Amino acid sequence: MNYSKLREDMVKHQIESRGVSDKRVLKAMREVPRELFVPEGLVVEAYNDHPLPIGHGQTISQPYIVAEMTELLELKGSEKVLEIGTGSGYQAAILSKLAKKVITLERIEGLAKKTRVLLKKHGYNNVTVIHGDGTKGYGKEAPYDAIIVTAAADKIPKALIEQLAEGGRLVAPVGKGYGQELLRIIKREGDKLDTEEHGGVIFVPLIGDE
C-alpha cells in the first residue's frame, strides 16, 4: 500500500475540499500515519472517508471530523491540551504535533494501556495517556488552553468548563444519537462563555459519573 499517497489524497479530497484551511492542521494530517492506529485487519480502510471500529465497541473518528475539531482548537504550538476519549490515539497523535503537551483520558483500561504503548513506540512523547473518567476532567494538570471531547454527552461536564483556561477553546459533540451538534465554547474574561454551533455529528456516547 502506498500510504503517503493515500494520506495526500485524504487531505486533498476529504479535508481541504470541505474547507479545513489551517496549514498546521493540514501538515499534521499529512504526517501522522493513520494506518498505525487502526486494527491490523482494517489497514486497507485506514484512509477511507468514515470512522472505523477499534474494538471494545469504540471507533476511530472519520479523518475530516478529526481535522475539523482540531482546527477549531486554534492551536499555535505552546498549548496544554486535554483530550477526553483517547480511543485509538490518532487524535492525540495529531494534537501532539500541534501543541506543547497533550493529556488524554480513556475510560476503557485495555484501550488506554494499548494506546499508551503505541504512542510511546512511535515517538509521541509529549502525550500522556491516563486511564480514567473524563467527565471529571483531569484537575492535576488544569487549566488547559484547549479541551477536545471525542464522545457525545447531553451536556458538557461542568468540570471541563472549570478546567478550561481564560481564552481557552473547548470542542465537543453534544446531544444524543443522530441529534448531536458539534459545539465550540470559548471562555472569555470573567468566565463568560461564548458558544458556537458547528454542524451535526455522530459520536459514541460519553459514559461517566458527571
Catalytic residues: 61
Does 87 interact with ligand SAM (rule: CB under 6 A)?
Answer: yes
Nearer to ligand SAM, 91 or 180 (CB): 91
Give how far Cα 7 sits from Cα of 85, 124, 185, 203, Å: 24, 19, 30, 23
Contact 75, 144 (CB under 8 A): no
Which range in 4-12, 56-64, 173-181, 189-197 contacts ligand SAM by CB under 6 A? Answer: 56-64
Q: How far is the CB of 155 from ligand SAM (least distance, A)?
A: 14
Query: Cα 53–57–60 angle (5° rounding)?
Result: 35
Closest CA to 133 of 210, 49, 48: 210
Question: In the window 4-33, what residues touch ligand SAM (CB under 6 A)?
Answer: none
Amino acid identity for residue 10 in this structure: M
Which range in 7-15, 24-32, 83-91, 180-188 contacts ligand SAM by CB under 6 A? Answer: 83-91
Does 175 interact with ligand SAM (rule: CB under 6 A)?
Answer: no
Q: How far is the CB of 115 from ligand SAM (least distance, A)?
A: 8
Q: How far is the CB of 135 from ligand SAM (least distance, A)?
A: 5
Long-range pairs of 12-16 with CB within 8 A, sequence gap ≥ 24:
14/49, 14/63, 14/64, 15/63, 15/64, 15/67
DSSP code at position 206: P
Question: In the window 142-161, what residues touch ligand SAM (CB under 6 A)?
Answer: 150-151
Q: How far is the CB of 59 from ligand SAM (least distance, A)?
A: 5
Contact 169, 194 (CB under 8 A): no
What residues make contact with ligand SAM under the rule CB under 6 A?
A: 58-61, 84-85, 87-88, 90-91, 105-108, 111, 133-135, 150-151, 203-204, 206-208
